[in-house]
């Protein structure tokens, strides 16, 4: 996936490179895939009203299994037991929000990323700017969580905006709804859920597009497997490319993120 695809005014993340030829790997020796995920990480993975594990990552894992025509199991673990579960061979792959960095790469082999968590601006209806540029947002008051990567990016990329740090996102959003600031800058995914919930009460909208600079916002989400399990990683990459190029990814994405965070 390389960016975002816009369809009927919805920007859908799409990290599939249309120019990349994906060779079907030889995964005849892979008889099943045992996925591990978090028990309580909505909307990615959580226990639904019916008592079953559900969520974006869960549905994506199931679609991967359908694509590969392989039987799969998906087990939910507490966050602090996920890594030990893989290392103890209780599962083959972790589909969760494990940060991709130098340290984690020593412990895991990661697939291609399937999602990123960009930064975005949300503004009140009185903000007329359509694009999030330093010129358009110059002089605007912007709430941001103090000490966060989002504050660092805001001060570096938008020096002409008036950054107003708050202790947490709830306080920043309250300042927005109370009219004390004109915009909030933060994690786009969390902001999309807020916009789609009762807390926003229709007050606000995304302003401009996503900012995906990895040194501020991380490298995104990928599936982690054991470092010596390259055949499984290849099979998962093959499936991710096929799912990402189909309508299946779009349907899963909008099921959990009806207000796209891209």
What backbone phi and psi angles, to 5 degrees, belong to 186?
-170, -165
- Beta-strand ranges (E) seen in 96-166 are 109-110, 119-124, 141-145, 162-166
Q: What gap in Å lies between CA 50 and CA 189, rounded to an integer?
A: 25
Question: What does each of the 262 residues of the chain score in pLDDT, given as a tens digit?
Answer: 445 433 334 677 776 665 555 667 777 789 999 999 999 999 999 999 999 999 999 999 999 999 999 999 999 999 999 999 999 999 999 999 999 999 999 999 999 999 999 999 999 988 999 899 999 999 999 999 999 999 999 999 999 999 999 999 999 999 999 999 999 999 999 999 999 999 898 899 999 999 999 999 999 999 999 999 999 999 999 999 999 988 899 999 999 999 899 9
HSE-up of residue 232 (Cα within 13 Å, Cβ side): 23
Q: What gap in Å lies between CA 134 and CA 249, rounded to an integer?
A: 33
Domains delineated in the chain: 3-116+219-256 (3.40.190.10), 119-217 (3.40.190.10)
Pairing of strands 204-211, 119-124: antiparallel
Q: Model-level pTM?
A: 0.88
């Amino acid at each position: 996936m390389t960016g975002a695809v816009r369809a009927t005014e919805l920007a859908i993340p799409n990290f599939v490179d249309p120019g990349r030829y994906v060779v079907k790997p030889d995964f005849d020796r892979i008889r099943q895939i045992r996925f591990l995920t978090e028990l309580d990480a909505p909307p990615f993975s959580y226990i639904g009203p019916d008592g079953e594990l559900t969520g974006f990552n869960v549905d994506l894992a199931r679609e991967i299994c359908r694509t590969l025509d392989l039987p799969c199991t998906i087990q939910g673990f507490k966050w602090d037991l996920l890594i030990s579960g893989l290392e103890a061979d209780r599962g083959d792959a972790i589909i969760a929000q494990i940060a991709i960095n130098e340290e984690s790469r020593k412990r895991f082999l990661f697939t291609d990323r399937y999602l990123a968590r960009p930064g975005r601006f949300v503004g009140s209806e009185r903000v007329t700017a359509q694009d999030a540029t330093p010129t358009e947002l110059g002089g605007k008051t912007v709430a941001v969580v103090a000490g966060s990567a989002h504050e660092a990016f805001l001060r570096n990329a938008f020096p002409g905006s008036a950054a107003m740090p708050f202790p947490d996102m709830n306080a920043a959003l309250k300042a927005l709804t109370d009219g004390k600031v004109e915009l909030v800058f933060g994690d786009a995914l969390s902001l999309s859920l807020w916009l789609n919930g009762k807390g926003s009460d229709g007050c606000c909208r995304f302003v401009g597009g996503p900012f995906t600079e990895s040194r501020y916002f991380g490298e995104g989400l990928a599936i982690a497997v054991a470092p010596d399990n390259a055949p499984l990683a290849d099979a998962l990459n093959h499936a991710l490319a096929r799912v990402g190029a189909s309508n299946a990814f779009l349907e899963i994405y909008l099921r959990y993120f009806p207000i796209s965070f891209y």
